[in-house]
Structure 1
């Protein structure tokens, strides 16, 4: 056992130096570009799809198979049962990297509710690349859904890099290669956004009015800290970050899937429709009948369909 930077006790995983090492989970504190420590867990997964539809044991190939980087919703963390369930399903399709956003669980810092969290996701994606993965799919829920959209808009993927090389002037070929090398460690190959808002400051539903009370009021932040294990920043956004609907057009040609329930109590269906309209032909919308909000409402069948989609698109 060890104590994390936020004062929480967290377990450490020891990876044995043996043929079974690729099966053992690995836990690490990552450091973001702005110096925040992020609690992250990497699990190789038991079965790997190589993109052709074939299944293989995760301990047989190298770690270049697909990895799912899961971005949880507000007040979640890497150890919450609903996040662990998501990870268990995705482990049937590849490796899984879960982490706790800043201000959540054992991670350091305080939550900015979707703003600087993009740096947390970037650190997680970077670790996945360092582990040798050549295919990365980000899957975000609610707040995490908005973060994966903004992250992909900022970093893009191989298609974006090729486009950048064709259209952006550079002093010489070496300069283009240097820019590509920097972006390659943060880029993603497929993006899935589940139950995300399309725009900021939405208060049109009772659950979102409660969230705004939690974030903006001192007594609400106390409830978040001691009741929900979520430490929330007390300052307003400055500047206001790019909204999800503004980010979506910048993601193409990286494959994008938008998933939303038609009974979502937080964000009604005009939010996913706005995101899909902004994506145009570059995005895909699944409006799920009877589904509520985020991880709790995403049943295993839906998660398996998302896994199939990611395998087919991130290859």
Structure 2
């Protein structure tokens, strides 16, 4: 089926664009924003896309702590007022606490239950980063795990291997976290895969703070990170894997989709699961530009900067990013594996439009499970029963690859 280009995508962005068109647009930026100053703004915007942030911005602040009642009061934000179980980093990740149900929503604050973590380290006035991780390490799930090293092209990358109760399986799930997070993000999915009989490998990849960094210390938005996931597929193959499911969150979704198309082990791959995935980076980056009130022309030239050779002088990238190759709606016809796609319509960071477009383009392979209210990568946190049922039911319907296929 020939996929149709979905509305909202940036036509002409990618490695196949016209140099003359680039030059005309850059000239427009120079005229509109006084030459060098305009390019400096473009460089700042473009670098925010590809440079890993050392500290994630804090969305909230602690207003009150009641340890006897086991509650915490936070400034209200779109994330802190969503029901469910979450984690919160405070004091620039010096402490971590687990948060539960909402007790009360006030005019500008929200009161939630404290479930565990570094509660004694909490202080009024601390900034709080709201997280969907909930679990930080495998032992918090009560499961035995093994710390392993995956030999990636850049060097050994740490990963967790967790097996089902019956022991190591020939069916594996390779779980890939999103941008600005670590493999802890994927721990929420382990029980579902483990109960279905899968061994799990929770991987790290270049520039995530655990794996060896790239030489330029720049994200490639999946266009290079897939190589580390492919190395992980090779590692589980050496452990006896005969059937592999890939799962990714946010940018991790873009990474596993790219890995599925470019892997050196295609015969092992059985299916792909995606949670709040980036299906089209142009759509995401245009959305972020609008949210941050970045002038449209500046945003468009920033997209060109990260995808053209000349832009490397502004961004510090070693290689340009092929944004056209990372548009999985435009390239939907190239996808072949069964896909479970879960996305919240009010994601707030990665719009769900491209996910819906992919589901419409490839109904033969995509099982689309829409959420509302859940926000970005917090689907499990908001409704763990529905999330778990969606994953478990989908895994149950997958037919294992035949031996020796």
After TM superposition, is the score higher than 0.5? yes
Cross-structure match for 1:192: 273
Instruction: Report if aligned partners of 2:234, 2:265 keep a CA contact under 8 Å in 1.
Output: no
Q: Provide closer, same or farther for how the CA distance between residues 314 and 208 of structure 1 changes in structure 2, counting only shifts above 3 A.
A: farther
Higher strand share: 2
The yes-or-no answer on 1:250 pairing with 2:334 is yes
Instruction: Report if aligned partners of 2:344, 2:373 keep a CA contact under 8 Å in 1.
Output: yes
Q: Provide closer, same or farther for how the CA distance between residues 284 and 208 of structure 1 changes in structure 2, counting only shifts above 3 A.
A: farther
Q: Provide closer, same or farther for how the CA distance between residues 208 and 250 of structure 1 changes in structure 2, counting only shifts above 3 A.
A: farther
2:211 to 101, 107, 117: 107
Taking only aligned residues, the RMSD between alpha carbons, in angstroms, comes to: 2.9
Give the unaligned 5+ runs of structure 1. Answer: 1-12, 14-22, 47-57, 156-181, 217-232
Give the unaligned 5+ runs of structure 2. Answer: 1-137, 303-314, 401-405
The yes-or-no answer on 1:63 pairing with 2:63 is no
CA distance in 2, matches of 1:262, 1:77: 24
Task: Tell me how far 1:209 sits from its aligned partner.
Answer: 6.1
Instruction: Report if aligned partners of 1:39, 1:100 keep a CA contact under 8 Å in 2.
Output: yes
Task: Tell me how far 1:90 sits from its aligned partner.
Answer: 3.0
For residues 16-95 of structure 1, the aligned pairs below 5 Å read 24-32=144-152, 34-46=153-165, 58-59=166-167, 63-64=169-170, 66-78=171-183, 80=184, 82-93=185-196, 94-95=198-199
Secondary structure of the residue that 2:195 maps to in structure 1? coil
Task: Tell me how far 1:107 sits from its aligned partner.
Answer: 0.7
Instruction: Report if aligned partners of 1:25, 1:42 keep a CA contact under 8 Å in 2.
Output: yes
CA distance in 2, matches of 1:238, 1:85: 33
CA distance in 1, matches of 2:352, 2:208: 28
CA distance in 1, matches of 2:344, 2:191: 22
Greater Rg over alpha carbons, structure = 2
Q: Provide closer, same or farther for how the CA distance between residues 196 and 37 of structure 1 changes in structure 2, counting only shifts above 3 A.
A: same
The yes-or-no answer on 1:313 pairing with 2:394 is no
Q: Provide closer, same or farther for how the CA distance between residues 259 and 86 of structure 1 changes in structure 2, counting only shifts above 3 A.
A: same
1:148 to 256, 276, 284: 256
Instruction: Report if aligned partners of 1:153, 1:248 keep a CA contact under 8 Å in 2.
Output: no
Aligned residues: 229
Q: Provide closer, same or farther for how the CA distance between residues 130 and 113 of structure 1 changes in structure 2, counting only shifts above 3 A.
A: same
Cross-structure match for 2:200: 96
Q: Provide closer, same or farther for how the CA distance between residues 275 and 88 of structure 1 changes in structure 2, counting only shifts above 3 A.
A: same
Higher helix share: 1
Instruction: Report if aligned partners of 1:245, 1:274 keep a CA contact under 8 Å in 2.
Output: yes
Cross-structure match for 2:372: 289
Scaled by the length of structure 1, the TM-score of the pair is 0.64
Instruction: Report if aligned partners of 1:76, 1:100 keep a CA contact under 8 Å in 2.
Output: no
Task: Tell me how far 1:207 sits from its aligned partner.
Answer: 8.7
Scaled by the length of structure 2, the TM-score of the pair is 0.51
CA distance in 2, matches of 1:235, 1:195: 26
Q: Provide closer, same or farther for how the CA distance between residues 239 and 291 of structure 1 changes in structure 2, counting only shifts above 3 A.
A: closer
Cross-structure match for 1:160: none
